[in-house]
Structure 1
Amino acid sequence: MLINGKGGRVLLEHRYSILRNRVSGEDMQRNLSISQKKPGFCTGVLVTLAGLTFACSAKADFKGNLNVEVDGLQNQKGLLCVKLFSGSQGFPDSNEKAIKRQCVKISDMPMTFSFKNLTSGSYAVAVYHDLNGDGKLNRNSLGMPTEGYGFSNNPAPSRSGPPKFGNCVFLLAGPNTRVNIQMKYSVGS
């Protein structure tokens, strides 16, 4: 829709052709004079919308780095595994739905994992201390973890199961984002 210059006249002429049979000539003249006074406002709205569209598209292309620091490990046995999720599907157990996954031998305490060039957005992290190196978080017959675990935002443990993605989500929006995770161990593990 054009507002200024010749396009403004085309728009006004179109409005006139639609309305000419509905209103009297005097009413039509008043409508045209009001419309001719508003092109600056309409142009301002269009410029604002174009700016917002550009800002949103620029944000979507932004890349940043994520550093995940894991503290509270009971020992240096086995592996420490971390999974990064960009949505709730498969969180926190699925290896296939994780967008990034790493398992490394524990060398330092605390341990730090780095993920480079991530698109800005919402993420959640799940971590587990794989004592026996089988690549999964082992559980007892009641479903309680027998190995250490942790999540971004450090939600409180629950008997109803692992936390939901929404409880662990954080926003990656700057060049460097840091997430600290405190490991939790079940009694007797």
Structure 2
Amino acid sequence: DVTLTSVRSARGLIRVCLTADPDNFPGCVDDSHAVTRTVPAHVRDVRFDGLAPGRYAIAVIHDENSNARLDTFAGIPREGFGFSRNPRIGFGPPRFAAAGFDLDGNASAQTVRIRYLL
């Protein structure tokens, strides 16, 4: 279960990607095993069922204009984003190790705070 906090508006979509592949985090672009969800931005809870035990990380974007990507200006995100375990953000996204969490087969919950830089 993923609970989203600090979403600034109900406009657009929330895009969530859960992956076990450090090489495809946070984009999940080439990860055929990634599990993704797209929900209306007013939804604050997203559920993933049937996951195998392992180490996972979650990346979230608040796609306010529904164009299926994270918009940036001079490399700075113009839309909201967040990661499992809410790691510190420096220049660029966090590494898988900073956002990763272990799933042992029992129910697990992650609270992801959405951040906005512009």
Rounded Cα–Cα distance in structure 1 between residues aligned with 2:79 and 2:9: 11
Aligned length: 117
Residue matched to 2:108: 177
1:73–1:127: structure 2 CA closer, same or farther, 3 Å change rule? same
Q: Counterpart of 1:137? A: 70
Match of 1:152 in 2: 84
Unaligned runs of 5+ in 2: none
1:110-156 CA-partner distances (Å, limit 9, x unpaired): x1111111000000000010011111111112x11110000001011
Say whether 1:102 aligns with 2:33. Answer: no
Q: Which of 51, 57, 67 lines up with 1:124 in the alignment?
A: 57
**Local SS of the residue matching 1:76:** coil
Task: Name the SS of the counterpart of 2:110 in structure 1.
Answer: strand
Give the drift of 1:185.
0.5
**Does structure 1 retain, via aligned residues, the 8 Å contact 2:52–2:105?**
no
Secondary structure at 1:119's aligned position in 2?
A: coil
Runs of 4+ deviating beyond 3 Å: none
TM-score scaled to structure 1, two decimals? Answer: 0.59
Greater strand content: 2
Q: Which has the higher contact order (CA 8 A, sep 6+)?
A: 2
What whole-Å deviation, never above 9, does each CA across 1:10-62 have from its counterpart, x for those lacking one?
xxxxxxxxxxxxxxxxxxxxxxxxxxxxxxxxxxxxxxxxxxxxxxxxxxxxx
Q: Which runs of 5+ in 1 are unaligned?
A: 1-66
Distance in 2 separating the partners of 1:94 and 1:121: 17
Q: Equivalent residue for 1:114?
A: 47
Structure with bigger gyration radius:
1
Structure with the bigger percentage of helix:
1
Residue 7 (structure 2) aligns with: 73
TM-score (norm 2): 0.93
2:98 is aligned to 167
C-alpha root-mean-square deviation of aligned residues, in Å?
1.2
